[in-house]
Amino acid sequence: MSSGEHRIQTWAEKKGMRFDRTPDPVWYVQWEPFDTMVAPMRYQNAAVGTYPHGHIAIAEPWTAEGTETPLDRTIVGFATHDGLRFHASARIGAWFNTRVAYVGSAKPNEVSVGDPEWDDVATTFAMSPQHACAALHPALRKMLRAWRFQGHIELRMGGLAIHVAGLRPVVDDYAKLAEFIPAVVANAAAYPT
């Protein structure tokens, strides 16, 4: 185990999370295929735990084959929440893990939500503009803009997958994502009435 992995493990255990250097892929594969991100060859250095509304996992997606090193390294977060009801995804910016080919699955519909501040910067995918507006509702879009979010977000029935651009597989960034995910999920599940 490298010193970086050891530091992540120590952080995870202090947060009450389980650390798994080579997590079982079954749980992660059920999230695939992603609408906006490439599916990695494997995940590693996973920190997994619970939060008030479900489970949270943060792991490094290893996008290279075999022992090769990926073009870049990052972390991805996952959360479950029974209150999430709609499927939509969005990408702000283009990153090394952006999905550009749709071999074996249909490309999702690219839609607009009718909000120029969002539509001018985000590429949004959903079954329809109405589904996108329901999942990525105005309060969630406002929060993501206020936080200057860049990366990938995918909301689906009962869960969320998120990549925040610039976060690396280091303790400080695991901690940032561990704080960010519950806030995003809580906002996403607070649908306007």
Residue 103 has pLDDT above 90, yes or no: no
- Which band of pLDDT confidence, cut at 50, 70 and 90, is reported for residue 101? low
Q: pTM for the complete prediction?
A: 0.93
Tokens standing for residue 110? 């690219």
DSSP structural state of residue 70: P
Contact, 158 vs 80, CB < 8 A? Answer: yes
Grouping H, G, I as helix, E, B as strand and the rest as coil, residue 76 is strand
On whether residue 179 sits in a domain, the answer given is no
pLDDT tens readout for residues 113-129: 999 999 999 999 999 99
Residue 27 has pLDDT above 80, yes or no: yes
Domain that holds residue 12: 3-163
Grouping H, G, I as helix, E, B as strand and the rest as coil, residue 153 is strand
The DSSP-derived string for 86-148 is --EEEEES--TTB----TTSPPPPEE--S-HHHHTTEEEEESSHHHHHHHT-HHHHHHHHHTT
DSSP structural state of residue 170: S
pLDDT tens readout for residues 148-184: 999 999 999 999 999 999 999 999 999 999 999 999 9
On whether residue 159 sits in a domain, the answer given is yes
Least reliable range by pLDDT among 101-105, 141-145, 167-171: 101-105
pLDDT tens readout for residues 32-58: 888 888 888 899 999 999 988 899 999
On whether residue 184 sits in a domain, the answer given is no
On whether residue 190 sits in a domain, the answer given is no
What is the pairing mode between strands 88-92 and 122-126? antiparallel
Domain total in the chain:
1
On whether residue 180 sits in a domain, the answer given is no
